[in-house]
Amino acid sequence: MPGEREFSYEYRHGVTSYGAFTYALCLELRQRKRISFKRLVEVTTDRLAKLGYAQRPQILGPRAIVDARVPWSD
C-alpha cells in the first residue's frame, strides 16, 4: 500500500545525503519546463524506480490544483 505506511529513503550523492524523493523531483524539474503537479509526481516515481527505490509517492488534492501546471515551470 503506497503512502504513509511506506518508508522514505535517503539518496547519497558523494558525501551528501538527500531525501530520495526530493532528489528525484529536483532532477525532473530541471529537465521539464511545462509540467503539471500530477505528471511531475508520475515522472518522479519513475525516476525513483530507476534509482532503485521502492517508493511510490502520491499527490492528493482538488483536481484543479493537481492538474495545474507547476507555476515556475512556464
Inside any domain, residue 5: no
Write the CA distances from 34 to 30, 37, 42, integer angstroms. 11, 10, 14
Select from 73, 10, 1, 12 the least CA-distant residue to 38. Answer: 73
Residues 15-72 pLDDT 10s: 777 888 999 999 999 998 889 999 999 999 999 999 898 888 889 999 999 999 998 7
Inside any domain, residue 25: yes
Q: How many CB atoms lie within 10 A of CB 48?
A: 21
Inside any domain, residue 4: no
Number of structural domains, the chain? 1
Residues 4-19 pLDDT 10s: 666 667 677 777 778 8
Inside any domain, residue 2: no
Strand partners, 19: 10
Inside any domain, residue 58: yes
Inside any domain, residue 24: yes
